[in-house]
Chains A and B, each alone.
Chain A
Amino acid sequence: MKKIISICVVTVLLVLTFSYYTSKQPTTPITVINMSSPASPAGVFAQAVKKAVGGDWYQSSDCSQGYTAFTNIKNSVVVYNSSVAFAALNKKLKNCQLPKNVHVVMIAQTPMHICKLPNNTTRLERDKVKLGMASMYAVKKHENQFNSHSRDGAVQIIPYSGSGTVLKSLLAGDIEWGWIGAGLANKNKDKIFCEWTTDKTDKTKKFLGNGFPGLAIPDFSINTVLYTADKNLANKIVSMLKKSREFNAYTTTSVFSVNSKPTAQDIDSVNLFVQRMYDTWAN
C-alpha cells in the first residue's frame, strides 16, 4: 500500500511540475485546428495553411472537440468547413457554427467534380450507378433529388469520409462515380475523367444543375473559413499566407478561390449557405 501511495504522490508532483514548466514557455507557435476529415479538401487546405505558417497541428475528432481545443489553445487558428457545420446541425452537435466575436482570416471556396474511370461507360444521368461522396451530405434527401427528375436513371449515394477515400474507392472499382474536390480531381486527371462539375463558370465540364434539374444545390462548394481569437494573430497569418509561394501555388492548383479581405457580408453568405444545406437536406 505504501508503495502505491508513494508512486501516486510522485506521479502527481511530476505531472504538476512538468505542466507548470511547459505552460511558462515564452514562445507559443500557431496551432492549426482542423475540424474536417483529413481526407477532405478542407483537411488538405488546413495542411497547406499549417505548412505556410510553420505551426502545430491539431486534428479534432469532430467539430465540437475542435472548438474546445480552440478555446484551450493559445495562438490557434481554426479551419472551419461549411459541410461539417451543416452535418453538425443535422447531428445536433454543439459549437460547430462560425462563432461570433472571432477574427476571420480568410474565406476560401472550392467546387466539386463528379468523376469516373476513363473506361467506365455508365452515364450519371441515365444509368443505375453508385456515386460516392462525403458522409455529411450523402443523405437520402440528396439522393432523392438526384433521382426525382431522372428519366430512368438511379443514383445510389454511398457515404465516405472525404474526397480522398472516394477517389480510392473509385480507383478500386467499388463505385462508378465519385464526388471529389476539384483540386484532388485535377491532380488525378491522368487516372480519372471528370465529366460534371458544381462550378457554373467551368466551361470544360458539364454543370451538374443542367443534368439534374431536381437538385436544390447544384452549385455546391466547400466553404473554408480560417478564424482566430486574436486580431493581431489574424493579421500575422494573412501576411504569412500571402508571402508563402507554396500556399499560393496550392490554392491555384487546388481550385480554391481565396478571399483574404472578407467582409461581414461574405461571412453571412457562408452562414446562409449552411442554412440552405440544412433547409434542403437535413433529416
Chain B
Amino acid sequence: MSIILVTLLGMIVGVAAGLLPALPVFTGPMILYLFVNENYPVLHLLIFWMVSYSGTQFFGSIATITTKIPGEESSAIYLPDIDRLGVEEKKQLLFDTATGSFVAGTISILLVWTVITYANPNIFPMLLGYQIQLMAYLFAIFLLIVTNKTKWAAVLLILLGLAIGPKQNYALPNLWYDITFLFHGYTLYMVVLGTILIPSLFAPIDTVSKVEKYTATSKIPNVWVIIKSTVWGIFAGLVPGPSASIATTLAYNTQKESNSSPYNKILAAETANNAAVVIVAIPFFILGLPINQNTLLMSNIMDIQSLSIVEEILRVITPLTLVMICALALYFWLSTHLINWYADTVKVLHSKMKWIVTVILLLLITADLQYSEITAIRYCYLLLGFTAFGFLLRAFKLSPIPFLFAVVLSDKFVWLGVQTINFIVG
C-alpha cells in the first residue's frame, strides 16, 4: 500500500514538474530533502525519485507540443519546429512520443536491472577498487569540462566545489579547516537554491502560443526511429552532465527530416531523453557515482541518511524495476489522455508561475532552515553568498552544474585523491 502511495506521489510530482517549466527536473529529489530526516525505507526513496524524474521527461513533451512552452529544458531544442507541424501531425506526435518514451523507459529500466543484478560489486569487488573509482571520477570530470562551453570556468568551478565539500577528512592539512570555516553549516539545498533556483526566478517568461484542442491519435510509430533514439539515450545517459539534454541533442541532430517534416526529429529527441534519465542510475547504483543533477541530489540524500547505495541497491532493484514499469505504463496512458486539460493548466498557471515557484521555494527554504540547525542569520548570510554567486555565474552565462557536481562529489573524490597519493608516493 505504501509503495502504491509513494508511486502515486512520485507521479504527481513528475507530471507537475514535466508540464510546468518553472519546476526543474530535479523537483523530486528536492522534495525528498524535506523528509530526509524521517528515515523512510530506501525503496520508497528510490521509487519516488525515479518515478518523478521519469515523469518530467514524459510530460515535458506535452507542454512543448501543445503550448510551445518547454516543460523541461531538454525539449527546448525542437521548439522552433513546433510551428512547422499541423494540428493533425501534433495529435499523432503526442501519441508517438508517448510510445517512444514508454519503450525507451522500459528498455532502459530493464537494462539497469540486468546490469545491477549481474555486474555488481558483490560479484566484481574490484569495481570498488581505487583505480576503477578514480578513473570513473576523473573521466566524469573530464567530460564535464569538455562538454562545457567555457572550459577554464568549469575547471575553476570544480576546484571551488572540491575545496568546500569534504567532510570528516582528517587526512587534510589544517589550512583546509581554516578555509572551510567560512562555509561552515551550508547545505547542498542552499547551494542549489542560491546558484540555480533563485536566479532562475528572474529569467524572462516565454509566451504561450495559441492552444488548439487535442486528442492523441493512434498511429503506428516509426519503430526504427524509436530504437535508434533509445540507443542514443542509453549512451548519453552514461555521459556526465545534463544527460537528458545531451540525449535530446544527439538524437535530434542525428535524425534526418522526412518529407521536409521535423516529425521524426522530435520523436527521436523525446524518446532519447527518456532512456537517458533512467540509464544515469547505472553508474550511481554500481559505483556510487552520480553523474547529473538528479543523481547528485539523490546521492547527497543517501549520504545524509548514512546509506550506501551500492550496498542497498541489490536488495531493492527488482521491486524498483517492477514499480517503474507500472509507472511508465500509467504515464503512457496519462500522456495520451486528458491532453487538453494539461494544456489548459499550463496556460492558466504559466503567468502565475513565478509566484507559485516563489511560494514553493519559501517552504523549502524554511524546511531547510529547520534541519540545518545553524542560526537564521548565518543561514541568510550563506544563502545570500551562494545567491550572489549564482547571479554572477548567470551574468557571465556560466553553468553552475560543474560547481554543484564538485560539491557533492568532493568528499569521495578527495578521499580517492588522498589514498591514491599515499599508494603512489608511499
A: residues with CB less than 8 A from B are 4, 7, 10-11, 14-15, 18-19, 22, 34, 36-38, 43, 47, 56-59, 61-62, 64-65, 68-69, 72-73, 87, 90-93, 130, 134-136, 138, 156, 158-162, 164-165, 168-169, 171-174
Contact = CB atoms under 8 A, between A and B. Distances in A.
B373 A72 contact: yes
Given A59-B304, A92-B174, A165-B415, A158 B423 contact: yes
A156 B168 contact: no
A172 B419 CA distance: 14
B171 A65 contact: no
A135 B128 contact: no
A186 B92 CA distance: 61
B419 A156 contact: no
B126 interface: yes
Given A36-B168, A93-B177, A161-B169, A43 B306 contact: yes
Contact of B129 (A7, A90, A135, A174): A174
Contact of A38 (B128, B185, B306): B306
Interface in B48-73: none
B201 A59 contact: no
A117 to B, nearest CB: 10
15 contacts: A7-B358, A19-B370, A43-B306, A47-B306, A59-B306, A68-B373, A72-B373, A73-B373, A130-B423, A134-B170, A135-B168, A159-B422, A162-B168, A172-B125, A173-B129
5 A-B pairs with least C-beta separation: A38-B306, A172-B129, A159-B171, A18-B366, A135-B170
Contacts of A56: 37
A130 B125 CA distance: 18
B38 to A, nearest CB: 8
A273 to B, nearest CB: 17
Given A69-B373, A130-B426, A18 B363 contact: yes
Contacts of A91: 170, 174, 177
A14 B359 contact: yes
The winner among B305, B306, B411 for most chain A CB atoms within 10 A is B306
Given A18-B366, A69-B373, A136-B170, A158 B128 contact: no
Interface of B: 37, 39, 121, 125-130, 167-171, 174, 177, 184-185, 201-202, 303-306, 308, 354, 358-359, 362-363, 365-366, 369-370, 373-376, 411, 415, 418-419, 422-423, 426
B419 A158 contact: yes
Nearest to B127: A172
Contacts of A36: 168
A161 B306 contact: no
Contacts of B366: 14-15, 18-19, 22
Nearest to A71: B373
Contacts of B39: 57
Given A58-B373, A156-B422, 8 more contacts: A14-B359, A15-B366, A19-B366, A19-B376, A73-B373, A87-B170, A135-B168, A156-B426
Nearest to B376: A19
B174 A57 contact: no
A159 B420 CA distance: 10
Contacts of A162: 168
A161 B168 contact: yes
A47 B37 CA distance: 12
Nearest to B174: A91
B169 to A, nearest CB: 6
A73 B375 CA distance: 11
Contact of A15 (B202, B304, B365, B423): B365
B130 A174 contact: yes
B170 A92 contact: no
A202 B336 CA distance: 67
Contacts of B376: 19
Contacts of A59: 304, 306
Contacts of A169: 128-130, 419
Contacts of A171: 125, 128
A172 B171 contact: no
